[in-house]
A and B are shown apart, each in its own frame.
Chain A
Amino acid sequence: MTPQNEIILDRRASVARILADRGDALLITGLGSTTWDAAAVGDHPNNFYLWGAMGGAAVLGLGVALAQPQRRVLVITGDGEMLMGLGGLATIAVQRPGNLSIVVIDNESYGETGMQKTHTHHGVDLAGCAAAAGFPVSRTIYSRDELEDIVSLLYAATGPVFAVVKVAATAAPTVLPSRDGPYLKDRFRSAVLGDRATG
């Protein structure tokens, strides 16, 4: 490992920094740690948390992005969740939604099941996968300066944008948002659609 690739970023601080600039962006989180990360920053009606559907977060974000082309849609998920849905990167790249950004909080581990190493620990380059699929912007983030640079791209660049944020494999307190599917769905639709949500 070269010095510039030393993993120093903290997952909670990184997610908090990213969401500080969210504005009216819509947020989808992958099951497990990234759902707790978003909840730790603060619950929000524009958040839809996945508690299952592993491998589906990025493509679920695509569905939202195509339906809401005027809104920025942000997916924050983990490396294990993204690895389960790698084919989705190809599907997203083909649709090329300009308003979709995907952030992988990569601790190189399955955090909910005993910190077993994921494929990224063994060298699989998720940002390389996204770039090869055709994402116009794809980065791997190791430093606070790189994180600052990518935050503006996440909300303003013509996407799809893909960013892997390498974070330390340290435990953070579990912060649980609602896990009731119908409530989370209806709340999100009301926030996005207003009166149209019940139509």
Chain B
Amino acid sequence: MSKEDGWSVEVFSMLQNMEVQQVAYVPDAGHARLIELCEADSRMRAVPLTSEEEGVALLAGAWLGGERGVLLMQSSGVGNCINMLAMIQECRIPFLTLVTMRGEWGEFNPWQVPMGQATNGLLHNIGVIVHRPDTAERLVEVVNAAAHLAFDAGRAVAVLISQQIIGFKDWHK
């Protein structure tokens, strides 16, 4: 089992246990295995988006209709979500997002750096609680805690997943 498979399978299992049913995503390589697992599960509905803010609106609707959801995206997509997250904050809708980070650890593409560096602060400023696991071993535990904070305490929570712990894109292969 590769490093990515390991955490993806465990996070998927945790999302199942938390009864997450709508999985909205704009693909990122870091989420590829998790997306496959969610698409293959008949109790989950994987919803590909054209842009990340759709996922915020979708999950607000899911909650209004009685379902839990999660938004999978890359850090560049966080910038697309900011105004839609104002609704999450004002209505106090539980919201969980798993953000794979670009623009920091070992980044090759300079165009990823500004948004990657701004991600944490932007989420904080719009009222989203940010969790950052510091090791791969703690990732699943942190996602689990974030899901409880979101759905039990009715909060907006983001888990930022660094390439430091899931590996980074090697442009020199």
Instruction: Spell out A's residues near B (CB within 8 Å).
Output: 26, 28, 48, 50, 52-57, 59-68, 85, 87-88, 90-91, 94-95, 181-182, 184-185, 188-189, 192-193, 196-197
Contacts and interface: CB of A to CB of B under 8 A. Distances in A.
A63 B90 contact: no
Contacts of B69: 63
A43 to B, nearest CB: 17
B93 A185 contact: yes
B65 A64 contact: yes
Interface in B53-81: 53-54, 56-67, 69
A178 to B, nearest CB: 12
B83 A189 contact: no
Contacts of A193: 66
A54 B82 CA distance: 12
Contacts of A94: 48
Contacts of A56: 53-54, 56-57, 60, 84, 87
A60 B91 contact: no
Given A181-B90, A181-B92, A63 B58 contact: yes
Contact of A50 (B21, B50, B87): B87
B59 A53 contact: no
A67 B21 CA distance: 9
Nearest to A75: B61
B135 interface: no
Give the contact-size bracket for chain B. 20 to 34
B65 A55 contact: no
B91 A184 contact: yes
B47 A52 contact: no
B84 A63 contact: no
A184 B90 CA distance: 11
B54 A64 contact: no
Contacts of B49: 87, 91
Contact of B47 (A50, A60, A95, A196): A95
The 7 lowest CB-CB distance pairs between A and B, nearest first, are: A63-B61, A67-B65, A87-B50, A56-B57, A181-B91, A67-B67, A181-B90
A91 B22 contact: no
Given A63-B65, A91-B47, A52 B86 contact: yes
Contacts of A185: 63-64, 91-93
A60 B87 CA distance: 11
Given A56-B60, A88-B57, 15 more contacts: A48-B64, A56-B56, A56-B57, A63-B59, A63-B62, A63-B69, A66-B62, A67-B65, A87-B49, A182-B91, A185-B92, A192-B64, A192-B65, A192-B66, A193-B66
A60 B95 CA distance: 14
A52 B62 contact: no
B164 interface: no
A59 B87 CA distance: 14
Given A85-B54, A87-B54, A91-B49, A64 B87 contact: no
B58 A62 contact: yes
Contacts of B50: 87-88, 90-91
Nearest to B92: A182
Contact of A54 (B22, B60, B83, B91): B83
B85 to A, nearest CB: 9
B64 to A, nearest CB: 5
A87 B51 contact: yes
